[in-house]
Chains A and B, each alone.
Chain A
């Protein structure tokens, strides 16, 4: 006798298997736009690595909603025109479900109109000058309210600095950061004796350094674009023989390390340092080493938020059970993730409170943490959200 029940059961199993195969084959695409060329190219490889690590870890544990995650990486040339092209490619051609990107402010500003038109969730993972708001964007990097105040406070209280010279690249980040810095310095009773900018692709700081030399400020604070401009400024400062207390608002640990003793004595304020002693950080570093071996790039302020953002996205998608953009955007401020930097939840008008560390570069290239500030608030960056 043909056992109908058994056949039906087999059929059900087969059907389920078949459909889960079909469903499982439809991957979730996450686009990553990063400056593979241009000013950010120094830090880009690290960002790519942490993205790849996050994706491989997520996929190894079953993906998101049972679907595998696929990474689409494009070059935004660290600038406006390149970013527009990159986002167009990601949204219109690759049809990504979300974009997680660490970019220069010029790139971000150019990308936002494309994101609005494309209606794709966008997690911006870089620190920046603040007040950038878009219906589809969340930020898990710090803003000046979180990063600048420790530096200025330390320099004026501990080093007795009264006069400050500000140097930056001429674009939204440079001007935004230094604008905030200037206001804060004056708030705490200091004086800004010089403010100079170079275009983002320039690396000849000679005349600015001469100006610094002639003005003789107590302290120097710089806000340049992440990679090359930063390094050339530091190198040229060092070789000019100028000695001044120096706080760098845009430097990351990896860059500081490669500079060797050119960077000794430099102050930095960061949400991530490799010396953070937490189980999440140890696990993260371990996993990075296992995956990339000798090619591993030192994780830093720009690559770690990128890593964490993938898990935040995963949590949001799983919370609402779909990749529908509007729903994910709703959910992103309710989910939190504890990663190498600590607890991150982007629930303060699209930004997140962060634990900041004030540190100083040592002669042997290591970064010594001078003070830790827990859960520094970003204040109200985007009141409309």
Chain B
């Protein structure tokens, strides 16, 4: 199973079905805002200067949380973008002087350079088939490259000394406090709006199950690259602010040590919560400033130990743990209302063939798993693919749904050649694939999963939660028949096995596919559930004229619903026809009993 499993992450603390408002978080936020406004009257000069810097770091922490806590991309290198922003300020003001023009130019440079670098790193790290390890390793290399680039800049970048003594804003500490605090509040707010919006759920979907995302037509690499570019730009702004305030920029600001500190703040503060890392960054920065002169060794040791303990024992972080007694959960959000979306009519016989495979072969080295597969399927057909284990059924499915899977031959979906395209493109051509294990988004609610399914048809709202959830009629049928419409607010991992299977089917149908692939849809279902699914599939084919292809071991099930049966044996299609024909043939009997290798009959 090539699923990349990231541990069931913390951050999703929904209680099934409730929209309880916990007061812990809102109080925290109110307190934070109060401190932001009243700070200069409450804090002395030293603490103010520490906090100003801490707020800039908190902005960084928020971006890292979005990348890591929400999207699952562990990055040690986000400090590089911060450093670029800081040096943009330093270099601009040192070499070009300080004026309205240079300020604007510097800011633009900070954003553009960081975002461009973010895009480059994204291109390098996120591509089809990339492992998360590789992305993390690249994120390690990034700050090192950035630091060395700064160090090799000679007198222009100040090398090891950094840049100091340039003219900058003559604001008082109080003004700076409000500027950096305000910026942090804005970034926090925007971030919060995004992650709780419908589009924000996309991030969590990616973290939970990338494969499912691509099989819902979502171009995951592109989403990640865009995300990294955007967060890099934000980090650049924060860096610019920091550089303008402190009057000193040094290579440490772009370095590996700061990058890892960010991860520590996010982990201790509570990944996937946004406010947790913010608070974590601020608290730890302040504590470090005060404690590193009195108990330098002990403090670092405490931090390190806390970090290890949190990772091993308390993945959700320390601060959420402390707030829990007061009620963590913000509003869980309104449950949307189900509405029907009109599905385009498909008539059997018109339009291109749903599936057309010619001469498809798949080999691993000298081992041929599939040979010379020619298979057609039309709208309205329900094809049962049977054969003993090891015949190549799953491989065949994969070759239909992923252009890179086959070794030779051609596959056309609804008239479009899938060439070497990734699954998300195949989905856009009209394919839907349901996996054998319930392949859903574990920490999302049923409603959110279903909404994700419609991404290619209806872009999810970026800042809001849509009050309505539109599904095509057949998907609605599934949802209502299996009782999922009463559980829209339930988190997916809390559903029963059968319900999860139904959810996945509904998600796949939500794509409004023209051809649906199902891998052992009845596995693990109760008798009632089996009948339900049989009805659903039949109506999909007969009433809505979808083309369905199922791999099945349950021959009774196939007999009940299939319009055509295809037998696969040792990588070749040995027979096609009605169920009766196939099951009664001598050929198939010998195949299933394994008496002797079947002859190669050309099937028609």
A–B contact at 8 Å CB threshold (below): yes
The verdict on B13 contacting chain A, using a C-beta distance below 8 Å, is: no
Q: Please give, as numbers and ranges, the residues of chain B lying within 8 Å of A105 by CB-CB distance.
A: 161
Given A199-B151, A200-B160, verify A106-B49 contact (CB < 8 Å). no
Q: Please give, as numbers and ranges, the residues of chain A lying within 8 Å of B45 by CB-CB distance.
A: 92
The verdict on A201 contacting chain B, using a C-beta distance below 8 Å, is: yes
Contact B46 A106 (CB under 8 A): no
The 0/1 profile, CB within 8 Å of A marked 1, for residues 246-257 of chain B is 111110110000
Complex Cα–Cα for A92 and B290 (A): 12
Complex Cα–Cα for A109 and B249 (A): 11
Complex Cα–Cα for A124 and B49 (A): 25
Contact check: which of A75, A169, A172 meets B296 at CB < 8 Å?
A75
Complex Cα–Cα for A105 and B155 (A): 13
The verdict on A219 contacting chain B, using a C-beta distance below 8 Å, is: no
Contact B296 A170 (CB under 8 A): no
Contact B46 A84 (CB under 8 A): no
Contact check: which of A89, A113, A170, A201 meets B46 at CB < 8 Å?
A89
Contact B49 A88 (CB under 8 A): yes
The verdict on A74 contacting chain B, using a C-beta distance below 8 Å, is: yes
Given A81-B248, A81-B250, verify A172-B161 contact (CB < 8 Å). yes
Complex Cα–Cα for A106 and B159 (A): 10
Contact A85 B289 (CB under 8 A): yes
The verdict on A341 contacting chain B, using a C-beta distance below 8 Å, is: no
Contact A80 B46 (CB under 8 A): no
The verdict on B154 contacting chain A, using a C-beta distance below 8 Å, is: yes
Contact check: which of B44, B154, B165, B252 meets A81 at CB < 8 Å?
B252
Contact A93 B46 (CB under 8 A): yes
Given A81-B250, A88-B46, A89-B46, verify A170-B160 contact (CB < 8 Å). yes
Count A-B contacts at CB 8 Å: 80
Chain B CB within 10 Å, residue with most, of A75, A88, A110, A112: A110
Q: Please give, as numbers and ranges, the residues of chain B lying within 8 Å of A74 by CB-CB distance.
A: 293
Complex Cα–Cα for A139 and B292 (A): 29
Given A85-B289, A110-B248, A113-B165, verify A175-B160 contact (CB < 8 Å). no
Complex Cα–Cα for A81 and B289 (A): 12
The 0/1 profile, CB within 8 Å of A marked 1, for residues 229-250 of chain B is 0000000000000000011111
The verdict on B403 contacting chain A, using a C-beta distance below 8 Å, is: no
Given A92-B49, A113-B247, verify A106-B165 contact (CB < 8 Å). no
CB B508 to nearest CB in A, in angstroms, measures 53
Contact A110 B164 (CB under 8 A): yes
Contact A113 B164 (CB under 8 A): yes
Q: Please give, as numbers and ranges, the residues of chain B lying within 8 Å of A79 by CB-CB distance.
A: 160, 250, 252
CB B288 to nearest CB in A, in angstroms, measures 9
Complex Cα–Cα for A93 and B46 (A): 6
Q: Which residue in chain B gives the minimum CB-CB distance to A36?
A: B296
Complex Cα–Cα for A161 and B248 (A): 41
Contact A75 B293 (CB under 8 A): yes
The 0/1 profile, CB within 8 Å of B marked 1, for residues 166-194 of chain A is 00011110010000000000000000000
Contact A84 B246 (CB under 8 A): yes
Contact B151 A106 (CB under 8 A): no
Complex Cα–Cα for A105 and B159 (A): 12
The 0/1 profile, CB within 8 Å of B marked 1, for residues 229-260 of chain A is 00000000000000000000000000000000
Contact A171 B160 (CB under 8 A): yes
The 0/1 profile, CB within 8 Å of B marked 1, for residues 98-115 of chain A is 000000011001101100
Complex Cα–Cα for A199 and B252 (A): 13
Q: Please give, as numbers and ranges, the residues of chain A lying within 8 Å of B164 by CB-CB distance.
A: 80, 109-110, 112-113
Complex Cα–Cα for A289 and B189 (A): 62
Chain A CB within 10 Å, residue with most, of B164, B247, B253: B164
| B23-59 at interface with A (beta carbon < 8 Å) | 44-46, 49-50
Q: Please give, as numbers and ranges, the residues of chain A lying within 8 Å of B161 by CB-CB distance.
A: 80, 105-106, 109-110, 171-172, 200
The 0/1 profile, CB within 8 Å of A marked 1, for residues 280-296 of chain B is 00000000010011001
CB A82 to nearest CB in B, in angstroms, measures 8
Contact A170 B252 (CB under 8 A): no
Complex Cα–Cα for A169 and B161 (A): 10
The verdict on B162 contacting chain A, using a C-beta distance below 8 Å, is: yes
Contact B154 A80 (CB under 8 A): no
Contact B248 A84 (CB under 8 A): yes
Contact check: which of B50, B148, B160 meets A106 at CB < 8 Å?
B160
Q: Please give, as numbers and ranges, the residues of chain A lying within 8 Å of B253 by CB-CB distance.
A: 81
Complex Cα–Cα for A105 and B164 (A): 11
Complex Cα–Cα for A81 and B258 (A): 12
Q: Please give, as numbers and ranges, the residues of chain B lying within 8 Å of A169 by CB-CB distance.
A: 160
Contact A170 B250 (CB under 8 A): no
Q: Which residue in chain B gives the minimum CB-CB distance to A200?
A: B160
The 0/1 profile, CB within 8 Å of A marked 1, for residues 133-171 of chain B is 000000000000000100110110011111011000000
Q: Which residue in chain A gives the minimum CB-CB distance to B50?
A: A88
Q: Please give, as numbers and ranges, the residues of chain A lying within 8 Å of B148 by CB-CB distance.
A: 199
| A99-135 at interface with B (beta carbon < 8 Å) | 105-106, 109-110, 112-113
Q: Which residue in chain A gives the minimum CB-CB distance to B246?
A: A84
Q: Please give, as numbers and ranges, the residues of chain B lying within 8 Å of A172 by CB-CB distance.
A: 158, 161
CB B206 to nearest CB in A, in angstroms, measures 35
Chain A CB within 10 Å, residue with most, of B160, B162, B252: B160
Given A80-B164, A170-B154, verify A113-B159 contact (CB < 8 Å). no
CB A44 to nearest CB in B, in angstroms, measures 14
The 0/1 profile, CB within 8 Å of B marked 1, for residues 61-101 of chain A is 00000000000001100011100110011001100000000
Q: Please give, as numbers and ranges, the residues of chain A lying within 8 Å of B158 by CB-CB distance.
A: 171-172
Complex Cα–Cα for A175 and B161 (A): 11
Complex Cα–Cα for A45 and B154 (A): 31
Q: Which residue in chain A gives the minimum CB-CB distance to B288?
A: A85
Complex Cα–Cα for A170 and B248 (A): 17
CB B158 to nearest CB in A, in angstroms, measures 8
Q: Which residue in chain B gives the minimum CB-CB distance to A132?
A: B165
Contact B46 A171 (CB under 8 A): no
Complex Cα–Cα for A170 and B161 (A): 8
Q: Please give, as numbers and ranges, the residues of chain B lying within 8 Å of A201 by CB-CB distance.
A: 160
Contact B162 A110 (CB under 8 A): yes
Q: Which residue in chain B gives the minimum CB-CB distance to A95?
A: B46
Complex Cα–Cα for A75 and B296 (A): 10
Q: Which residue in chain B gives the minimum CB-CB distance to A73?
A: B293
Complex Cα–Cα for A171 and B159 (A): 6
CB B301 to nearest CB in A, in angstroms, measures 15
Q: Please give, as numbers and ranges, the residues of chain A lying within 8 Å of B296 by CB-CB distance.
A: 75
CB A110 to nearest CB in B, in angstroms, measures 4
Complex Cα–Cα for A81 and B253 (A): 8
Complex Cα–Cα for A175 and B162 (A): 13
Q: Which residue in chain A gives the minimum CB-CB distance to B160?
A: A200
Complex Cα–Cα for A201 and B248 (A): 19
Chain A CB within 10 Å, residue with most, of B46, B49, B151, B248: B248
| A190-217 at interface with B (beta carbon < 8 Å) | 197, 199-201
Q: Which residue in chain B gives the minimum CB-CB distance to A105?
A: B161
Complex Cα–Cα for A113 and B167 (A): 10
Complex Cα–Cα for A197 and B153 (A): 11
Complex Cα–Cα for A220 and B249 (A): 33
Contact A199 B160 (CB under 8 A): yes
Complex Cα–Cα for A112 and B158 (A): 16
CB A163 to nearest CB in B, in angstroms, measures 24
Q: Which residue in chain B gives the minimum CB-CB distance to A82?
A: B252
CB B146 to nearest CB in A, in angstroms, measures 13
Residues of B with Cβ closer than 8 Å to A? 44-46, 49-50, 148, 151-152, 154-155, 158-162, 164-165, 246-250, 252-253, 289, 292-293, 296
7 CB contacts below 8 A, A to B, read: A75-B292, A84-B248, A89-B289, A106-B160, A106-B250, A169-B160, A170-B160
3 smallest beta-carbon distances between A and B, as pairs = A200-B160, A106-B161, A92-B46
A-B contact sample (13 more), CB < 8 A, given A81-B253, A197-B159: A79-B160, A79-B252, A81-B248, A84-B248, A88-B49, A109-B161, A110-B161, A112-B165, A113-B248, A170-B152, A175-B159, A199-B148, A201-B160
